[in-house]
Structure 1
Amino acid sequence: MAGRLHIAEMNIAALLTPTGLPSPTIRQPLLTSPNHSPRHPTSIIALTEEGAPELRSAFWGLTPPWLKQLDRAPHCARLDALDSRPMYRDARHHRCLVPVTGIYIWMTQASGKQPFMVTHVDRRPLLLAGIRTFYPDPLQKTMPAHSSSSPRGRESFALITLESNALIAPFSDRLPAILEPESVSTWLSATTTPEEACALLSPAPLDALGIFPVSRAINAPSCQEWHLSHPVGPMRTAPRNDDTDTQQ
Structure 2
Amino acid sequence: MAGRLHIAPIDFSQLLPDLAMDMPQVSSANLAPRRMLSGIRLEAGRMRLGRLFWGLTPPWLTVLDHAPHCARAESLSSRRMFREAFLARRCLVPATGIYVWKPQPRAKQPFLVTRVDRGPLLLAAIWCRFHTSLAEHTDSLALITVPTNTLLAPLSDRLPAAISPADAPRWLDPQAPAEAAQAMLTPAPRELLGAFPVSRRVNSPANQEAACAHPVGPMLRHQSPLERQ
SS in structure 1 of the partner of residue 114 of structure 2: strand
Structure 1 counterpart of 2:37? 42
Q: How does 1:94-105 map to 2 (within 5 A)?
A: 94-105=89-100
Match of 1:170 among 130, 154, 158: 154
**Which entry has the higher C-alpha Rg, 1 or 2?**
1
SS in structure 1 of the partner of residue 202 of structure 2: helix
Asked if 1:33 is matched to 2:44, the reply is: no
Mapped partners of 2:226, 2:158: distance in 1:
27
- The corresponding residue for 1:188 is 172
Q: CA deviation digits over 1:196-247, x for unaligned, max 9? A: 21111211111011100000111111111112211011111113216669xx
1:43-78 C-alpha deviation (Å, 9 max, x unpaired): 001111x11111110000011111111110100000
Matching of residue 80 in structure 1 with residue 74 in structure 2: yes
Unaligned runs of 5+ in 2: none
Match runs of 1:1-248 below 5 Å: 1-17=1-17, 22=18, 24-48=19-43, 50-92=44-86, 93-138=88-133, 154-241=138-225
Equivalent pairs counted in the alignment come to 226
Does the CA-based 8 Å contact 2:57-2:131 persist in structure 1?
A: no
What amino acid maps onto 2:70 in structure 1?
A: C
Question: Which secondary structure does the structure 1 equivalent of 2:108 belong to?
Answer: strand
State the one-letter code of the partner of 2:154: P
1:148 counterpart residue number: none
Query: Helix, strand or coil for the counterpart of 1:172?
Result: coil
Q: Is the 8 A contact 1:90 1:133 kept in 2?
A: no
Counterparts of 1:211 and 1:62, CA distance in 2: 27
SS in 2 for 1:89: helix
Letter of the 2:15 partner, please give it: L
Root-mean-square deviation over aligned CA pairs? 1.7
Distance 1:195 1:59 in 2: 27
Which portions of structure 1, spanning 4 or more consecutive aligned residues, are displaced by more than 6 angstroms? Answer: none
Is the Cα contact below 8 Å between 2:47 and 2:169 reproduced in 1? no
Query: Who is 1:146 aligned against?
Result: none
Read off the aligned partner of 1:114 and give its amino acid letter.
Q
Q: CA deviation at 1:195?
A: 2.5
In 1, the alpha carbon distance for the partners of 2:173 and 2:78 equals 22
TM-score normalized by the length of structure 1: 0.87
Deviation at 1:180, TM superposition (A): 1.6
Where structure 1 has 5 or more consecutive residues not aligned to the other structure, the ranges are 140-152
Secondary structure at the aligned position of 2:162 is classed as coil
192-201 or 88-97, which moves further after superposition?
192-201
Aligned counterparts of 1:128 and 1:243: Cα–Cα separation in 2:
29
Following the alignment from structure 1 to structure 2, what is the Cα–Cα distance between the partners of residues 175 and 166?
Answer: 12
